[in-house]
Homo-oligomer: A and B are copies of this chain.
Amino acid sequence: MAMATANNGVNVQALLDAREALKGAPEAAKFTWRASCKWKNGTNSQSAVKGFFGLGQEQAHKTETSFEADHPEIFASEDHGITPVEYLLVGLASCLTAGVAAVAQNRGIQLRSVESKVEGSMDIRGILGIDSDVRNGYDNIKVTFKIDADASRQDIEALVAQSQKRSAVFDALANPVNITVDVA
């Protein structure tokens, strides 16, 4: 065991402390994440993320970050950014990766590298309205990790499984989320 020396840069003690603190303060555990979006032209929009709510008060990232989204040229658009559906893959990969690092730290496993590829398959006859039996969104997403760590293959597989079990993005995609869309 590398328990004493593993350093993946995750402050697990702070997370364990937070867990203890939030056990007695469920209201503080209620978070609201936010994005705002402005249409630019055609299928191109720009979204911004900065503030969020949690631990009972307004919070903010150190800086505001902007994200361009668009459709590619093969959809007769101008490709000013990645497609909206690709943002879901970025979210999934990064959530599982952060989880692998956190779980590895908690288990005393030193990571050397963690890489992943995510592929989401979609039949665009859904969004084009060709066949109502074809769904609009992904029918399948496959994530493949390649991990170099101070651990057996079995321990590495267990890391990934635990990360998946605790992943907010995995859950939001694998299970239904209630979404309301309104006009102000």
Contact = CB atoms under 8 A, between A and B. Distances in A.
A19 B18 CA distance: 51
Contacts of A120: 32-34
Given A141-B177, A169-B84, A43 B79 contact: no
Identical chains bound together, number = 2
Given A42-B101, A45-B93, A75-B15, A118 B172 contact: no
Interface of A is mostly: mixed
Interface residues of A, number: 125
A10 B42 contact: yes
B172 A121 contact: no
A113 B72 CA distance: 22
A136 B61 contact: no
A39 to B, nearest CB: 4
A94 B93 CA distance: 19
Contacts of A22: 124-125, 128, 130
B98 A94 contact: no
7 contacts: A19-B129, A30-B124, A37-B93, A37-B116, A39-B115, A145-B182, A173-B173
Pairs of residues from A and B, 4 with the lowest C-beta to C-beta distance, nearest first: A137-B172, A87-B91, A9-B42, A69-B94
Given A70-B98, A144-B182, 19 more contacts: A9-B41, A10-B77, A15-B76, A15-B128, A29-B123, A31-B124, A41-B101, A45-B93, A49-B82, A55-B74, A85-B172, A87-B169, A88-B91, A96-B181, A122-B168, A140-B178, A141-B179, A161-B181, A164-B181
